[in-house]
Amino acid sequence: MGHKTFDRGIHPSYYKELTASKRVESAPLPKTVTIPLQQHLGAVCEPIVKKGDLVIEGQKIGDVKAFVSAPVTRPSTEK
């Protein structure tokens, strides 16, 4: 049985041999993060935190009530 794939899909050469012997490394997290409050075609979120506020992972930082929109939350964690 072959690989499942899309009909006439794109099958690029992945060149995995270039990194197959390399170790996976963790990148350090930045001290500050800038998160845009408009991330799609929908309405821009209104900030609900102030610059410099300490926010935790998953905390809502921008909210909007318009149609075709979504709130923005803090995506990363420091630990």
Residue 6 lies in a domain: no
Range of the domain at 39: 29-79
pTM, to two decimals = 0.57
Residue 23 lies in a domain: no
Residue 2 lies in a domain: no
Confidence at residue 69, expressed as pLDDT on a 0 to 100 scale: 87
Residue 36 lies in a domain: yes
Q: Indicate the number of domains in the chain.
A: 1
Residue 51 lies in a domain: yes
Residue 9 lies in a domain: no
Over residues 6-51, the pLDDT tens digits come to: 677 777 777 778 888 999 998 888 887 788 988 888 889 999 999 8
Q: What is the 3-state secondary structure (H, E, C) of 5-36?
A: CCCCCCCCCCCHHHCCCCCCCCCCCCCCCCCC
